Amino acid sequence: MSLIRLSVVSVALSALFVMGADAAPQSASAAATAKLAAAATPMTAAALDALYTGKTWSWKDGAGYFGDGHRFSGWIQRGALWYYGRGKWQTTNTGKLCMQAVWYYRTGYGNNPSCILHREKDGVIYQKPALGGEWYVFKHNPARPDDEIRKLVPGDHVAKNMARLEAMR
């Protein structure tokens, strides 16, 4: 696989797992959110499993499904560029959710592990990419209509688009 393709896959996947970041804070509010997240407790593996198992996280240009047995599947499509992936997801007692998948595109494939950190305090869940990025509120307490957690919905809403993209390969 070419380095350019791997870079495109890496950028696309980073955006996929962070692009609830429409909700990501900017400027001064980012510092305030980071301070609140630092005071929060990392979520447990059991809490993360309960939050994600059997649900699809939808984004503007893709989605990821967190299946039983920690199976992961996802897809991304931006115009003519598309990817679909299969692999595993795991959680830790330090609040980390990681997805390890093989991502396929028209002429090849590549691996791209991606992890997201989670912290919780008083029913508010904070989230950030494990590598870089800023903390943002994934779920307020009470939840707000624009919270990113609202994009985490029960069921597998990934398989149909994956099958379509797989047929294009």
| pLDDT 10s digits, 40-68 | 999 999 999 999 999 999 999 999 999 99
Mean pLDDT of 148-169: 94
Task: Name the nearest CA neighbour of 139 among 14, 12, 40.
Answer: 40
Cα 128 from Cα 131, distance rounded (Å): 8
Distances (CA, A) of 143 to 14, 16, 38, 139, 140: 25, 22, 20, 6, 5
Within the chain, residue ranges assigned H as helices are 3-18, 27-39, 45-52, 159-168
Amino acid letter, residue 144? R
- The string over 56-88, giving b where at least 16 C-beta atoms fall within 10 Å of a residue's C-beta and e elsewhere, is bbbbebbbbbbbeebebbbbbbeeeebbbbebe
- Is 162 a residue whose pLDDT tops 70? yes
State the pTM of this model. 0.83
Nearest to 72 by CA among 63, 83, 81: 63
At 82-117, the pLDDT tens digits run 999 999 999 999 999 999 999 999 889 999 899 999
CA–CA separation, 155 vs 119, rounded Å? 24
pLDDT at position 106: 87
Spatial neighbors of 35 by CB under 8 A, at least 6 apart, are none
Query: Is the pLDDT score of 4 beyond 50?
Result: no
> According to the model, what pLDDT value does residue 168 have?
86
- Coil/strand/helix, residue 12: helix
